[in-house]
Structure 1
Amino acid sequence: MEDQLSCPICLCLYRSPVLLSCGHSFCKQCIEKVLDSQQLSETPYSCPMCKLQLGPILELQKNFQLCSIVEAFMATSEGQQGESSAEEKKEVVPCDFCLDPPKPAVKTCLVCDASLCQAHLNKHNTKASNKDHVLVEVGAGAVVEERRCQEHGRLLECYCQDEGQYVCMLCSITGYHKGHSIITLKEAYDKQLGELSDIMSRLQERKRALGTALKELQKGENQLKTNTKTVTSQLQELFEEIKTQITEKEKKILSDIQSSEKEQLADITEVKKKMEQKRANTVQHLQSLQKMREQPDIFLFVK
């Protein structure tokens, strides 16, 4: 992979790789040096790999994909080197029961205060008396210190109920916790496990109650949606019926208005016709009287 991601000119991993029109990639600085030398020798620009002429004007396009691949490869390589260094620095603890040469230990028993290889660990675990012994990872110094009494250096095997603290046997006999309510870690575990079980039971009961309440709420929600849908449908039908009645009433009233208008217009037309006839007769009489008035012969006028 490293060979595939190396520049053909400098033979190192690509740095700011650019892509030529022929498809070959080079470090930007490397190809710029080659092109500068070609310009000084007044030869046409060409790819140093395939010798393809590139034209008088060049635009070096950054190869973003290749750049990302190189960065990912470098990050992976650095991570692997870091892991190898960490594994090399990991301390090897010898088994306390092996004869020369001792085998590497895989677990540490806090009760026996000994580190055990896999073979001695199997023997250790087969003994019934060792069933409750505490095993930790080899080299877990912080874990070991956490499980030992800071005052007496003994394993914390007991629990003080008055102070709510881990204590060793000497603490309960001669130390600060003398006279306190002391129980073993197993008893403390069983007691707190029982309390935890009670809490979990109450939570389970609460969970069931909440589940029932949620079902009732969901039932009420569904019923509300159904009722709303039914009422909405009924109202829509009612309003459609009202709209139909209003439309029919509107049509009837408009029809009656139009019929009344026609009858009244017919009456008005008839009256207008008679009045126009009377007006014409009146005009005719006026014309006759005007002609009579203009008669200059007194005899004829009086006649």
Structure 2
Amino acid sequence: MVEAAATSVLGTISRGHLECPICCCRFTDPKILDCLHSFCLNCLKEFTSRQLPKAHEITCPVCRRVTAVPDTRLQGLPNCFFLSALVDEFNKQERLLGDAPADIRTCEECDEGLEAVSRCLDCCKIICTKCLEAHERMKSTRHHRIVRKEQNRFDVTPIEPRKKDTPQCNQHTNQDLCFYCETCQALACGKCAELDHRTAEHEYREVADAIQSYRQDVGEILQRFEQSREEFKVADDSLTHAKNRVRIMVARACKDIAAKEEEEIAKIRNKSRLLRNKVTLIGETRVRKFEEVQKSSRDKMERAEQIVATVNDLMQQADDFELLNLKPKVMNNLEFQDELEFEQAQHELSFIGVKCQDVVADTDLGEVLQEEKWQLKVEFGDTGPEDGKLEFAAGVACLSNGDIAVTDLWKQQLMVFTSTGEYKESIGGELLNDPGLVAVTVGGLLLVEDEKYVKVLDSGLLYISQFEALPDDAVDEDGYTGIAVDKENRIAVADPVRKMISLHRLDGSLIRTIPNDMVSGGLAIGIRERLIFTNVFESKLICITYTGDEVFSVDTSLDGEPVRPGQVCCDDAGDIYVAVGSGGFDSCEVHHYSPAGVFIGRVARGLHNPFSLTFTQSGDLVVADRNSVKIFQRV
């Protein structure tokens, strides 16, 4: 059974690595092309005979790269010695494994039919006692390696391959190749160095020094490739996000257009269709552009990976002399590194919106917005103790019906306003003791941070349940740091007292805790189960996974100076929006970051003291700015 398994393994390795791509058989006299692919010599001859006659070049059947044919024709192409050696060794091992049955074997050296008692590893034959004696007497075979038969089996322990002799010069008989001429990029013997490479322009060195320098050069190039691989990943992720974001923006723009269409249904249906097509066409054009850049980057990386894999195989398996013979080809293939650059996504092209307008007669329904800008749309919340007025707007959340829920720290109330700022109702007193930040679940339930509890209310502000999220020793100013809910209704609560984020189910049961010493600010949930939070004191914007692995940690700044980040939220595409301030009132801003933590731009400036922010279903940004609530829209 062991021998059968070994034979199967040998066969698998042979098919994967030792078979010619043309004949699908094991290599015979393998030759290597400039692209580092190898083929049997006879297969190359047959392949070229079927092509149009091109005496000076051959096209690789695998990758279609062209290799110049030497003056000595295909026979002059470099031999792939390590493949030849591997094929010979595999053939030998298969013969060893295949010749170990349980029945009696007869001698393969003579015709007397005597029982074989030994195996000659050099002759690859099993022999009888007489032939063994002859082997030991004859000068040509007395040093052959012999294994004895034990328990009706022959020892098939793998034999260490014999070390190759130093290759000899083809031009000067019996002269070892001991030098490498860097000028000619060729191996040379002592006579070659003295006769053919002795002029000043020839720079040659000993083989050991040449191979050491060669390996060092290849290692440096491969190290640079690792850096390129990281750059490719960043660029590829940015392009993927840009594609997703432009699709979301297109969908949202089409939704806005459809809403406007309903208002002017009789007059603008046709113009609505034309504008949707225009938005979609721009979106498709940009997506195609992103895909073209992404495909180009992936193609470059795929080709680079193939070359690196082949070069790594050569560097590990070929001997020094063969590596030096192949140096020009290897280094030529590694020149891809100098051109391995990846184009980042142009973030501004990932935005598409729509600015609708009232239409009459033949005017257009609206215009396509291809550059992202923000302006104040609505501001509400007069200051005062009366119902519907604000003293310290802290938490803000958008309900499923479009209403806006706002908590007031000083009045200790939760108030509800329409999307245009009209006051509707409020609760407090016995139900809410000290309401802070708020969030809304996928089903429209309202989550309110109230001291150390998270309280769950329905859309009518009726109490449903509550669970404890903070420790008993948490003080008021430590309790209001962040609450967020993902699309599966998993609730994340920032806990600055114990320096962690706790993840809960909707019923309050704990899923896990995620320790992090930097928890000290706002909290949001982004794409792919990522927690985004801020550290006020270190001026940091941080992103981690649900398992606690850091995705990024970036400094927040305003005009080159560090600023304190506060609350944070994410839009549907996963872009991050952070409220920041330099310490003074009326100088705060909202900054826009990509899901990878790259600063994109400013959304709003001149804010008083933004304490919380969120998005409406239509994509407007709502900011609880202490004395008022401000709604910003893209224009």
Question: If the length of structure 2 is used for normalisation, what is the TM-score?
Answer: 0.17
Q: Which has the higher strand share?
A: 2
Tell which has more relative contact order, 1 or 2 (C-alpha 8 A, sep 6+). Answer: 2
Based on CA coordinates, which of the two structures has the bigger radius of gyration? Answer: 1
Question: If the length of structure 1 is used for normalisation, what is the TM-score?
Answer: 0.34
